[in-house]
């Protein structure tokens, strides 16, 4: 993929990441930033990975029903093509479920160097408690990381983990919602993992 020409700019944009477990309102925070940009008449680009078809194949939809139409990518390099096809300078870029877009950090840095602010929502940890590689790479280049928590479904304390209810589902990518996952604190997560 060829990177679109980026005019010389006076100031780089910022990379902001909303992260945490399932049900921590990451997408809600992303869409709040999106609404603020739209109210400010800023030119926006909204992206999601094509693999995320849970609620709608072409929209970002939060668990509470907020939605916005998105451009789809299979891999990070596809963002160059989308960005280059836009007729007007993009001021703000919004990317949901970014943990499913490998090699994203280089593209995020490039976007910020074009002057665009980039807002990303992504899980930090897989359901086995290990970090997503993409998330770790994105955290390293972010200007700001907002670490969110959910409510533990077992003890009501702050949840920092996503527990997969069905351990027979193998692999890092098992898309789902409340039927497949629970938000848990570290203590409840550790206890439930040891029982599987």
- Catalogue the active-site residues: 97
From 2, 155, 162, 13, select the one nearest 93 (Cα to Cα).
13
Could you give the angle at the alpha carbon of 77 between the alpha carbons of 119 and 100, nearest 5°? 60
Q: What is the CA radius of gyration of the chain?
A: 17
Beta-carbon contacts of 71 under 8 Å, excluding residues fewer than 6 positions away, are: 45, 46, 47, 48, 82
């Amino acid at each position: 993929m060829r990177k679109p020409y980026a005019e010389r700019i006076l100031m780089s944009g910022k990379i902001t990441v909303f992260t945490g477990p399932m049900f921590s309102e990451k997408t809600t925070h992303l869409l709040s930033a999106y609404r603020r940009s739209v109210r400010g008449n800023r030119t926006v680009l909204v992206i999601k990975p094509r693999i995320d078809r849970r609620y709608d194949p072409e929209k970002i939809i939060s668990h509470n029903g907020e939605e916005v139409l998105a451009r789809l990518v299979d891999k990070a390099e596809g963002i160059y093509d989308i960005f280059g096809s836009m007729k007007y300078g993009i001021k703000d870029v919004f990317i949901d479920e970014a943990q499913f877009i490998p090699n994203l950090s280089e593209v995020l840095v490039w976007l910020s160097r074009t002057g665009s602010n980039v807002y990303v929502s992504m899980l930090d940890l897989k359901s086995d408690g290990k970090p997503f590689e993409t998330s770790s790479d994105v955290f390293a280049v972010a200007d700001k990381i907002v670490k969110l928590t959910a409510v533990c479904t077992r003890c009501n304390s702050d949840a920092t983990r996503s527990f997969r209810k069905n351990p027979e589902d193998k692999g890092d990518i098992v898309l789902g919602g409340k039927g497949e996952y629970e938000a848990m604190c570290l203590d409840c997560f550790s206890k439930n993992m040891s029982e599987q």
